[in-house]
Amino acid sequence: MDSTSSSPPVDPADSRAFQRWLKKAALLTGLGATPEERQRNHEEQKRLACEKWKTELMNYSPSVVFMLKHLKLSGCPVPSSNIVCAPCDLTRSGGFHPAGAIVLCQGHFGDKKHMEDTLTHELIHMYDHCKFKVDWHNLRHHACSEIRANSLSGDCRYMRELGRGYVSFTKQHQACVRRRAILSVRANPKCPDEAAAERAVNEVWESCFNDTRPFDEIY
């Protein structure tokens, strides 16, 4: 008879590893987790997916890599930490802050191409702020950057507009750029009404729509 004593079996309830696994399983299935825990886990999963796409775009997207290069050449390098994935309200997919930060609204992107266009859009705002010293309280300055960002980022491609429910066969690109620029300027706290937003866009339209810097042409 073997005299070697064996260790008593471990109760899973006493295992920290088992408890961690159980907690993870609860979050994944929703069973045994509080609504707050489920919501936190849901947001964390969206953040991780957003960060994955962001990293891929910063390394491989032609438009994003191009804009990052020209921002660096202009003296305004953009580290990955300045592009933040975060929850946002449902009215937007991204945003730029003049302090040098971009927000990508996690969970608001139907696909990576949508995020690519959004990130390129916000990088154009960042480029304008760096290169041209934009005063974002000046409606004409704001309008000019919105015209350029909407025109050059891919936001107004035909299929993107079709997905929004806008169909036009003549000057579709220009109509999209103008509409979206007016909407953005209207949201400026310094803008009193839609007429002022439309006026600001009209006043700078020709020069800003034709300014494709740093691209050679509309992307």
* pLDDT, one tens digit for every residue, the chain (219 residues): 444 445 555 555 556 775 666 566 555 555 556 777 677 777 888 999 999 999 999 999 999 999 999 999 999 999 999 999 999 888 889 999 999 999 999 988 989 999 999 999 999 999 999 999 999 999 999 999 999 999 999 888 866 666 666 676 668 899 999 999 999 999 999 999 999 999 999 999 999 999 999 998 876
The residues assigned a catalytic role are 122
Exposed e or buried b per residue across 167-205, where buried means at least 16 C-beta atoms within 10 angstroms of its C-beta? eeeeebbeebbbbbbbebbbebeebeeeebbbbbbeebb
pTM of the model: 0.81
8 SS3 class: coil
Rounded CA Rg of the chain: 24
Q: Enumerate the domain spans of the chain.
A: 37-133, 135-218
Rounded-to-integer distance, Cα 203 and Cα 14, Å = 71
